[in-house]
A and B are shown apart, each in its own frame.
Chain A
Amino acid sequence: MEKSDLRKIKDWLWEIPRESKPDMKVPARVFATEKMIEEILEDRSLDQLVNVAGLPGIVGHAVAMPDIHEGYGFPVGGVAAFDAENGIISPGGIGYDINCGVRLLCSEVGLPEIRSRVPELGKAFYQEIPSGVGRAGRLKLSDKELDQILLKGVKRMVELGYADPEDSLNAEESGYLSTADPKMVSVRAKDRGRDQLGTIGAGNHFVELEEIEEIFDKEKAEKLGLFLNQVVVLIHTGSRGLGHQVATDYIKIMMAAAAKYDIVLKDRELASAPFGSEEGQAYFRAMSAAANFAWANRELVSWEARRAWKSVLGEKTGGLRLVYDVAHNIAKIEEHLVDGKKRKLVVHRKGATRAFPDQPVLVPGSMGTRSYLLSGEEAAMTESFGSSCHGAGRRMSRTEARKTIVAGELRQDLAAKDVVVFAGSIAGLVEEAPEAYKDVDEVIDVIQNAGIASKVAKMRPVAVIKG
């Protein structure tokens, strides 16, 4: 892919026309500045986006967010909508970590009131919330118990007493998809996830204590119960081994299905089946179950965080209330206008967040940089199937990060920024260093300029917990 293949529409929007590459069924659009486009062209993410634009039943545009980077099959930071009657569903368009997502909890206190307790709080979070690879959660679920979680997500956690009843009001889809069918989830997937509920895992997953550093929209912030200097908790994790195995199982099933339905695959990871087919429906129901597991997972992590918070600060400082929870790896059935007509679509978001008008959108940066709370805007519905970006987006490979970033210096840099870090793996910490990521402020500016979502608040990390 060359820069000359792209046509600039606006300062923050580029298009790869349908006619420019063989097999494209719709144009591909990228939300990015010219500087970002040059960086994006360094990997194969736009070639992957073009491949997506050629899949059966795709409508409108294949969309890339400013945090796009190379994935496998589909790029990360992409949105693709397929007609529910004539289009496909593809596990690769959702990703292995089904319903990887972010949630924000807010406290009732400002940082100045508890500043001296931050290291103690960070340590308590690190001890109470299992992180890394090989640390199990507190629940060992039987098949029957696990099936209830796969069916009901957050709703089940409320029934079990691990969630505040109001939590389900403040999550995308109320924290569960009613299309889930635990019978569509393999024994192997259940075995991988059985002891992982309430764990964050490793890689780019984290729990962070943050301070609200700046408020851009006072009215919206107040409505969400947010104020300047407030201490908040940001949680980033997904469906753990259970979701990874569901994706693995169904990519294999879909490779056979693609041949059965004459779908030509440029990459095996684009494996797909018609949404209405037996295989397509089985995957959608299994994916919904894994998504429910992820919501329940973030709920149990929140329960552990709430417990740690109280164990350090007692009852006087109040608790942690869920502000919102969003998925950024998921497929949803939604209605959108396409060429002026309302159509039922299977919207695939892989590294992209739903951003319906007035909906809170959570965009974590990297540790040491800012995270944002945005509010979805009307233009998202016409420009990006109601979707926004999901993070800063990686720009440096893990191997390069290990070669160029020194762990000791990274810790010193973070300490100089008043960020305390608790991490199980030093190598893992280095791979997730701020230098490995794009500038989140630039990503957010593109989203705001495009009218997809507007800034509500900016947060800075004060304690980072990683696996």
Chain B
Amino acid sequence: MPYKILGHTADIRLSVEGKDLEEVFKDALKGMVFIAGPREPEDSKETARKIKISAGDRTGLLVDFLNEVLFGMEKNYEFYTDVDFKELSSTKLVASLKARPAIRFERNIKAVTYHEAEIREKENGFLSTTIVFDI
């Protein structure tokens, strides 16, 4: 199920879901990059960016993962088209991000917040959460 952008008075609320944690994380990454709106230079090449994150629970891990993505976008002027997980549990992930260079972004995401974030299991067994981005 693809992400949905929902209304929020000042910031942006993203709704994500997936059949498992991996789908939720991938969906959230794609939604976040869509919100940032990267502009790619011509003749750009894909590179890989390795990441390793630990957190207290799966919601904290998702927020930390997205904050890692935000740091990479801002520090390295790049954006991420996908992620391959080598390891993904409720408290730890080891992954490789597919990175492409960016010359600018449409929006300045200041931070990924914990506000309203809570990965829950739905009646159909899917996992879902909302993420609010500070813009």
A interface residue numbers (CB < 8 A to B): 43, 45, 69-73, 76, 95-97, 132-135, 188, 191-192, 201-203, 241, 244-245, 247-248, 251-252, 255-256, 267-269, 271, 394-400, 424-425, 427-428, 467
CA distance A245 to B71 in the complex (A): 8
B interface residue numbers (CB < 8 A to A): 5-12, 36-37, 56, 60, 64, 67, 71, 74-75, 77, 102-108, 110-117, 132, 134-135
Number of A-B contacts (CB under 8 A): 111
Q: Which residues of A contact B60 (CB under 8 A)?
A: 252, 255
* B5 nearest in chain A by CB position: A399
Q: Which residues of A contact B103 (CB under 8 A)?
A: 134
Q: Which of A76, A245, A268 contacts B114 (CB 8 A)?
A: A268
- Contact B115 A201, beta carbon cutoff 8 Å: no
- Contact A96 B111, beta carbon cutoff 8 Å: yes
Given contacts A70-B9, A202-B107, contact A427 B74 (CB under 8 A): no
Give 14 new A-B contacts, CB below 8 A, not counting A203-B135, A268-B114, A425-B37.
A43-B9, A70-B8, A71-B11, A76-B10, A134-B104, A201-B108, A244-B111, A252-B64, A255-B114, A394-B9, A395-B9, A398-B8, A398-B11, A398-B12
Q: Which residues of B contact A95 (CB under 8 A)?
A: 134
Query: In the complex, what's the smallest C-beta–C-beta distance from B57 to chain A, in angstroms?
Result: 10
Q: Which of B10, B111, B117 contacts A69 (CB 8 A)?
A: B10
Which applies to chain A's interface (DSSP): helix, strand, loop or mixed? mixed
Given contacts A269-B115, A399-B12, contact A192 B108 (CB under 8 A): no
Q: Which of B11, B71, B77, B113 contacts A134 (CB 8 A)?
A: B77
Q: Which residues of A contact B12 (CB under 8 A)?
A: 398-399
CA distance A375 to B34 in the complex (A): 43
Query: In the complex, what's the smallest C-beta–C-beta distance from B98 to chain A, in angstroms?
Result: 19
Q: Which residues of B contact A97 (CB under 8 A)?
A: 110, 134
CA distance A241 to B110 in the complex (A): 7
Query: In the complex, what's the smallest C-beta–C-beta distance from B33 to chain A, in angstroms?
Result: 13
- Contact B107 A428, beta carbon cutoff 8 Å: yes
- Contact B115 A133, beta carbon cutoff 8 Å: no
Q: Which residues of A contact B105 (CB under 8 A)?
A: 132-134, 202
Q: Which residues of A contact B108 (CB under 8 A)?
A: 132-133, 201-203, 467
- Contact A398 B135, beta carbon cutoff 8 Å: yes
* B35 nearest in chain A by CB position: A398
Q: List 26 A-B contacts (CB under 8 A).
A: A70-B8, A70-B9, A71-B115, A72-B132, A72-B134, A97-B134, A133-B104, A133-B105, A133-B107, A134-B104, A134-B105, A188-B71, A191-B75, A203-B108, A203-B110, A247-B111, A248-B112, A255-B56, A269-B114, A397-B7, A398-B8, A398-B135, A399-B7, A400-B7, A424-B104, A425-B107
